[in-house]
Amino acid sequence: MGTPEEVLNIGYPQEMILTSQEDACEVSCVHPDAVQKARSAMPDERYVDDASALLKAVADPTRLRLLSALNTGELCVCDLAAVVGISESAVSHQLRLLRAHRLVTFRKEGRVVYYRLLDHHVTVLIGSALDHARE
């Protein structure tokens, strides 16, 4: 299976991997001004919890594919199932979770349910995550 360091570094380019000697300070010191600046910039704990839950919801590959598809515009459940390659039932299940996390919204037209990204923040989140992964 490999050493703990090898397991943690799976998927990262070699130049990004720090050895145990490189990833820690060689001396113990605290920079009070930097610490105070970082502490004052920390978000409220409830926002950290909510943002963490949001990122966990987006972290699933199927849900990210659904969100990416919706980034092109409004799609019905049947269309999403065809795009992502899973059953309509599975799409509906994932969309319920995305809706609960306020990532998507829907409208009903007769017997067809259309989904779209909730707002521009979701578009930026998905775009930024994918751009970062491409770099």
| 103 located within any domain | yes
Asked if the structure places residue 9 within a domain, the reply is no
Statement: residue 80 has pLDDT above 90: yes
7: pLDDT strictly greater than 50? no
Residue 39 domain-assigned (yes or no): no
Rounded to a whole number of angstroms, the CA Rg of the chain reads 20
CATH number at residue 70: 1.10.10.10
DSSP 30-72: --HHHHHHHHHHPPPHHHHHHHHHHHHHHTSHHHHHHHHHHTT
pLDDT in tens, 16-61: 555 566 777 788 888 999 999 999 999 999 999 999 999 999 999 9
| Residue range(s) defining the domain that contains residue 106 | 45-134
Domain assignment present for residue 36? The answer is no
Residue 20 lies in a domain: no
- In this prediction, residues 95-121 reach a mean pLDDT of 96
Q: Which residues pair with 115 in a beta bridge?
A: 75, 106
Q: What is the pTM of this model?
A: 0.76
Query: In total, how many domains does the chain have?
Result: 1
In a domain, 27, yes or no: no
Whether 73 maps to a domain, the answer reads yes
